[in-house]
């Protein structure tokens, strides 16, 4: 039988993991013709997510766990899952149960029909604020107009892809990742599956406003060069404004005369030009910064521990997988994103030479 790998990125999902596992296993049992494996990627959680995942992996050998040594974000955690997915089809789903595991059966049916990428589009988004819905609509509208790829609107990271697509995606290693745009960029045979999204089962959203803003920036700067082109149009507009003001000043001087030169116009133009220059530098700096980080060629992630994953199967994989094989087989433990412990060493009163353990000191002699 064929195997489907279900990738589940996790960050502080202790409250939902049990319910997600039970519900996804029940949904998997209803699917015929496919074996299931779950690849949970623990993105260095600060709660008991790591212990919960280890307990699930000990209970069910189909549950594979990858513990990242440092928090790298949702998109990189999904990438790590892709590196360890061995199935004939790969499903990406969050653990918060907003995306129903029962939809996976229909996704696999579409894969059987010959599609390579099945985008899950949200027809209804329960439990989300009007502000988030409005900003999401605005984001997709802007990206659709300036981007080089037509991203599926109202489609998150919940999708199913065939093995060739998963293998192709593993070759894309840029550090600033916008996976929903990258999957649409790959081509192949794609389709959209609409579904109703539920409310979050428990816990809090891992995508607050600032993280959503950073994801939107990654989407714009990774999928389009329109911001740089916009600088040219803004400069042309400012030059036209300056030329128009020059013509106006000359006409005024030769017709009615100028008794007192106005400083308001100077301040206005100076402010506009300064803002244009600083804004242009900022936009260019965003691209240069991404070039700098990508040029460093650092691993996207690094692993501290794995469960139910054969290290020998990592040969010939990505740089990160090869690194994991060297590190994990040496017996390193779990990692958690907690505050570092602080140790203090103080200089003794009689100098550093006296800084020895108390039990190593010579016994003091007492006078008779």
**Which residues face 192 on adjacent strands?**
119
Q: Which two tokens stand for residue 9?
A: 């990125």
Helix or strand (DSSP H, E) at 156 = strand 155-162
pLDDT tens sequence across 124-133? 766 566 666 6
pLDDT at 82 over 80: yes
Q: Is 210 helix (H, G, I), strand (E, B) or coil?
A: helix
pLDDT at 332 over 60: no
pLDDT at 152 over 60: yes
Tokens 């059966």 belong to 105
| Phi, psi (deg, nearest 5) at residue 87 | -75, 165
DSSP calls for 232-298: HHHHHHHHHHHHHHHHHHHHHHHHT--SS--HHHHHHHHHHHHHHHHHHHHHHHHHHHHHHHHHTT-
Q: d(Cα 60, Cα 38) in Å, to the nearest integer?
A: 10
Q: d(Cα 112, Cα 106) in Å, to the nearest integer?
A: 10
Q: Which of 128, 109, 131, 127 is nearest to 118 (CA)?
A: 109
pLDDT tens sequence across 303-314? 888 898 877 676
Q: Is 310 helix (H, G, I), strand (E, B) or coil?
A: coil
pLDDT at 149 over 70: no
Q: How sure is the predictor about 367, in pLDDT bands with cuts at 50, 70 and 90?
A: very low
Structure confidence at residue 368 (pLDDT): 44
What Rg, from alpha-carbon coordinates, does the chain have? 28
Instruction: Assign a CATH topology to domain 2-208.
Output: Spore Coat Polysaccharide Biosynthesis Protein SpsA; Chain A (3.90.550)
Q: How sure is the predictor about 320, in pLDDT bands with cuts at 50, 70 and 90?
A: confident
Task: Give the pairing of strands 155-162 and 303-307.
Answer: unpaired
Helix or strand (DSSP H, E) at 23 = helix 17-29
pLDDT tens sequence across 36-53? 999 999 998 888 999 999
Q: Which of 207, 154, 151 is nearest to 181 (CA)?
A: 151
Q: Which two tokens stand for residue 99?
A: 């995306």
Q: d(Cα 67, Cα 332) in Å, to the nearest integer?
A: 11
Q: Which two tokens stand for residue 265?
A: 């116009």
Comparing 4-18, 42-56, 266-280, which segment has the lowest mean pLDDT?
A: 266-280
Length in residues, the chain: 368
Q: Is 136 helix (H, G, I), strand (E, B) or coil?
A: helix
Q: Which two tokens stand for residue 172?
A: 């894309």
Angle between helices 263-295 and 226-255 (to 10 degrees): 160
Helix or strand (DSSP H, E) at 162 = strand 155-162
Q: Is 168 helix (H, G, I), strand (E, B) or coil?
A: helix
What stretches of 27-154 adopt beta strand conformation (E)? 34-42, 63-68, 89-92, 117-125
Structure confidence at residue 261 (pLDDT): 62
pLDDT at 98 over 90: no
Helix or strand (DSSP H, E) at 307 = strand 303-307
Angle between helices 17-29 and 49-59 (to 10 degrees): 30
In what order do the strands lie in the sheet containing 34-42? Answer: 190-197, 117-125, 155-162, 89-92, 2-10, 34-42, 63-68, 303-307
Q: Is 118 helix (H, G, I), strand (E, B) or coil?
A: strand
Tokens 């916008």 belong to 178
| Phi, psi (deg, nearest 5) at residue 143 | -65, -35
């Amino acid at each position: 039988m064929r195997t489907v790998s279900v990738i589940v990125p996790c960050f502080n999902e202790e409250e939902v993991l049990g319910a997600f596992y039970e519900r996804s296993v029940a949904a998997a049992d209803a699917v015929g013709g496919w074996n299931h494996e779950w690849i949970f990627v623990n993105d260095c959680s600060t709660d008991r997510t790591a212990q919960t995942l280890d307990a699930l992996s000990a209970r069910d050998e189909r549950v594979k766990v990858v513990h990242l040594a440092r928090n790298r974000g949702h998109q990189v955690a999904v990438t790590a899952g892709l590196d360890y997915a061995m199935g004939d089809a790969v499903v990406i789903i969050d653990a918060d149960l907003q995306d129903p595991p029962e939809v996976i059966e229909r996704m696999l049916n579409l894969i059987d029909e010959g599609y390579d990428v099945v985008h899950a589009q949200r027809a209804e988004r329960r439990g989300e604020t009007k502000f988030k819905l409005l900003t999401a609509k605005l984001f997709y509208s802007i990206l659709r107009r300036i981007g080089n790829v037509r991203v599926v609107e109202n489609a998150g990271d919940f999708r199913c892809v065939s093995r060739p697509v998963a293998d192709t995606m593993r070759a894309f290693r840029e550090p600033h990742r916008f996976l929903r745009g990258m999957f649409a960029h790959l081509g192949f045979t794609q389709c959209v599956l609409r579904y109703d999204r539920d409310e979050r089962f428990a816990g809090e959203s891992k995508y607050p406003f600032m993280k959503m803003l950073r994801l939107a920036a990654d989407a714009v700067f990774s999928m389009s060069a329109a911001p740089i082109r916009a600088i040219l149009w803004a400069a042309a507009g400012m030059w036209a404004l300056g030329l128009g003001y020059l013509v106006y000043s000359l006409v005024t001087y030769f017709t009615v005369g100028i008794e007192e030169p106005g400083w308001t116009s100077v301040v206005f133009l100076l402010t506009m030009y300064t803002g244009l220059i600083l804004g242009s530098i900022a936009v260019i700096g965003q691209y240069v910064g991404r070039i700098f980080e990508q040029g460093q060629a650092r691993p996207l992630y690094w692993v501290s521990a794995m469960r139910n994953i054969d290290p020998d199967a990592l040969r010939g994989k990505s740089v990160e997988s090869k690194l994991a094989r060297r590190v994990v087989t040496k017996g390193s433990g779990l990692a958690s994103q907690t505050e570092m412990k602080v140790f203090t060493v103080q200089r003794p009163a009689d100098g550093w030479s006296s800084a020895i353990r108390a039990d190593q000191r010579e016994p003091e002699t007492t006078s008779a």
